[in-house]
Structure 1
Amino acid sequence: MIALSILNRLVLAAITLFGVALIVFVLLRVVPGDPIAMMISPGASPEQIAQLRAHYGLDASLPVQFWVWLKAILVGDFGTSISLRRDVLELLGERLPATLELAFAALVFAVALGGAIAVLGTMLRRTFFEPVIDTFNGIMLAVPDFVWALALVLVLGVFLPVLPLSGRLDPGLQVDFSTPFYLIESLVTFKFAVFGNLLAHMTMPVLALGLPLAAIIARVLKEALLEAMVQDYVLLARLKGKSTLRLVLQEALRNAVGPTIALTGVQFTFLIGGTVIVERIFAYPGIGNMAIDAVINRDLPLIQGLVLVFGALFIVINLLVDLLVAAFNPRLRHG
């Protein structure tokens, strides 16, 4: 049953990606503006403009352009960036790992902080500290990620300059990486100085992205924990003399984590989308920052490649979340 469900999801994923490709292709062609106009010099002749338009395949009809582009994508050819004059797939391969490392670091931080707040709020139920915790969580939830980013820049980058404001790594560090996953590689190869420098550059973006997500996780997990704490199996464990902490962690948490995982997966896809603005604020070299430049420059091949990558990420994440929820829920696993 699980294999059949995965196969159905893969078929739906292919159909979804085709729909995304079609929509973004049409929308980019109907909005005002000519990408070729940004590439030509003021004295270019009509023949030179026509040659450049033919080079990028913009002289054919829309159905022909879409068919040619779709066939090229199926063989791994995403085209050439108009503004950067480089292969789109190569650019995505360079920038995507930076965004993935940032997003997963923010997810780990959000899960740790949100889980701790939920457990603490459950243990301090009906005490003086519960409204304090709920107020703190409400503030984290109300402030969007880009506002957190700007506030962190002012506090930790200007007033108390303890963290770097931009980039992924100090330019003075001469390091030869074998992979684009700098954080993981520096940790595996025991380059702790480089690892610490990477973490310092990621701290503020991770906080900006992770705080709102942590608030959502804390709210949902706390409600699930409170519901689980009044179940019969928890009351029986309480009669056996278990402490409140053990009741929450050993009895209630494993049954409350299912809906939290489902919501976290959905919110994680929005978190990846939120990296666009946060990466721009911190000049972080990921695909979010590159997406803004691509839109400004009307770089059609690069925008199309970026949208497809974002769409594929959303589909893969949702599939993994469904598998995790099934793993934590025996009824779904055997249903």
Structure 2
Amino acid sequence: MVATRARSGSLRAYVLGRLAFAPVFLFLLLTLLFLLLRVMPGDPVAAALGDRVSAEQLDARREAAGINDPILVQYGRYMGGVLQGDLGTPVTDPRSVSRIVIDRFPATFELTMFAMLLAVGIGVLAGAVGARFRDGPLDVGGRLFAILIYAAPVFWLGILAQLLFANRWGLLPTGNRMSARISYEAPTGFYLLDGFLTRDWTFLWTAFQHLLMPGLTLGLVISGVFIRMVRVNMLQTLRSDYVEAAHARGIGGRRVLFRHAFKNALVPVVTIMGLQFALLLGGAILTETTFSWPGLGTALVGFINRRDYVAVQGIVTFFAIMVVSVSLLIDIINGLLDPRVRY
């Protein structure tokens, strides 16, 4: 009973500590983002609008955006807006950044989650098989694939996939999220989920076809990290004493691999998943641009090209909140899987 209470208390303290630390880290991250955008040379409003408006209109836009206020006032307004869910109003778009995030985030989330599931599936399977047959053809092939696929630029793989699967073989669409020939209803904005909810199987299949090529491209690039991580940790786990004891008791190799070694080898991989999420969002920006995917990445690139730094600040702020939230979730999952990280 005492041991059980100690374990639960330790887990509770660990979770509360992570919950208390996450806002501090987010505060520092948002402060750094605010300062980096403010030290950039030039007037962001003039850079976004250029010669398209008069001098009086430029002054009015600066006043509306708060550019003329002292930097501490701007900082306080920015942090207060983040706390209230207000990410600002772009200079070149009548919608608020929060509205743009609501409209565009489902597309980015679908692409990111599909790529993450694919990367983890390929990485766990190839890494475990490589560890089981160390230095064999499967292991060497898996390691070579991991190195080459992770080194390949995601936009280059995307263009190559478009040339092969879309232009030459005609198997998949070249880009976009949905065919213009299909009329559809998307109440949630998550097309795969909407296809199930509305029972529109043609819409669901078309949405999956459009998702497949960008999701595969992004997922394959990230899978290289998981292949190497799973293989290394599986090899270390397979040399541990309890695995040797399981072999000594006559337990089969496959059962030892997946029932005894796999769980402990997966703990560091869960940590890497949180770190890779930030890279996945960065890769999603390039992937969305390559495949004309209407997500937050495409919107961010458009605002950067228009030099609308107010919108860039809002979207990057949302990405920062997402990364911190996912990192917090990964820390909690690690605490549940491995009691050693709680101390």
Calculate the TM-score normalised by the size of structure 2: 0.89
Within the candidate set 235, 238, 245, 1:236 is matched to 245
Once the two structures are aligned, what percentage of the paired residues are identical? 29
Distance (Å, rounded) in 2 between the aligned partners of 1:186 and 1:8: 41
Distance 1:90 1:227, change over 3 A: same
Distance 1:120 1:72, change over 3 A: closer
CA-based RMSD of the aligned residues comes to: 2.1
CA distance in 2, matches of 1:130, 1:28: 46
Matches within 5 A, 1:217-228: 217-228=226-237
Instruction: Please report how far the alpha carbon of residue 40 of structure 1 lies from its aligned counterpart in structure 2 after TM superposition.
Output: 6.2
Task: Provide, for residues 240-289 of structure 1, a one-character-per-residue CA deviation record: whole Å limited to 9, x for no partner.
Answer: 44332222111110111111111122112211122111111111111111
Shift of 1:36: 2.8
2:142 to 106, 116, 133: 133
1:220-299 paired onto structure 2 within 5 Å: 220-299=229-308
Residue 204 of structure 1 corresponds to which residue in structure 2? 213
Structure 2 residue ranges without an equivalent (≥5): 1-9
With over 3 angstroms needed to count, the CA separation of the structure-2 counterparts of 1:132 and 1:285, relative to structure 1, is same
- Alpha-carbon distance change, 162 to 313 in structure 1, aligned in 2, over 3 angstroms: same
Shift of 1:41: 5.2
Deviates more, 1:320-329 or 1:19-28: 19-28
Q: Secondary structure at the match of 2:89?
A: coil
Q: CA, structure 1 residues 212+221, in 2 after alignment: closer, same or farther (shift >3 Å)?
A: same
The partner residue of 1:319 within 310, 328, 339 is 328
Question: C-alpha distance in 2, partners of 1:53/1:127?
Answer: 65
Partner Cα separation in structure 1 for residue 82 and residue 22 of structure 2: 16
What are the ranges of 5 or more consecutive residues in structure 1 without an aligned counterpart? none
Q: How far does residue 43 in structure 1 lie from its aligned partner after superposition?
A: 6.6
Distance 1:159 1:234, change over 3 A: same
Corresponding residue of 2:11: 2
CA distance in 1 between counterparts of 2:62 and 2:334 reads 49
Given that 1:17 and 1:308 are in contact with CA atoms closer than 8 Å, whether structure 2 keeps it comes out as no
Give how far 1:93 is off. 1.0
Aligned equivalent of 1:64, options 70, 73, 81: 73
Rounded to whole Å, the distance in 2 between the matches of 1:300 and 1:216 is 33
Equivalent residue letter for 1:269: A
Q: Which residue of 2 aligns with 1:39?
A: 49
Asked if the contact 2:45–2:308 (Cα under 8 Å) also holds between the matched residues in 1, the reply is: no
CA distance in 1, matches of 2:259, 2:62: 64
Q: Does 1:123 align with 2:151?
A: no
Give how far 1:312 is off.
Answer: 0.7
Query: What is the deviation of 1:209?
Result: 1.3
Change (3 A) 1:152 1:33: farther
SS of residue matched to 2:156:
helix
More divergent stretch after superposition (5-14 vs 86-95):
5-14
1:168 maps onto 2:168 in alignment: no
Cα separation, 1, equivalents of 2:58 and 2:140: 65
Q: How far off its partner does 1:126 sit?
A: 4.0
Question: 2:222 maps to what in 1?
Answer: 213
2:340 and 2:57 mapped to 1: Cα distance? 65
Task: State the alpha-carbon separation in 2 of the partners of residues 174 and 43 from structure 1.
Answer: 38
Please give the alpha-carbon distance, in whole angstroms, between the structure 2 residues aligned to 1:11 and 1:328: 21
Maintained 8 Å contact 1:35/1:297: no
Residues 49 and 254 of structure 1: is their aligned pair in 2 closer, same or farther, counting only changes over 3 Å? closer
Compute the displacement of 1:188 (Å): 4.1
How many aligned positions are there?
A: 333
- Relative to 1, partners in 2 of residues 1:227 and 1:36: Cα closer, same or farther, differing over 3 Å? closer
Task: Name the SS for the 1:39 alignment partner.
Answer: helix
Which of 189, 194, 198 is equivalent to 2:203? 194
Deviations 1:24-49 (A, max 9, x none): 333323323433334365572x3333
What TM-score do you get using the length of structure 1 for normalisation? 0.91
Q: Which moved more, 1:67-76 or 1:305-314?
A: 67-76
* Residue 181 (structure 1) shift: 1.9
In the superposition, relative to structure 1, how do residues 153 and 225 fare at CA in structure 2: closer, same or farther (>3 Å)? same
Q: Which moved more, 1:162-171 or 1:72-81?
A: 72-81
1:320 maps to a residue whose letter is L
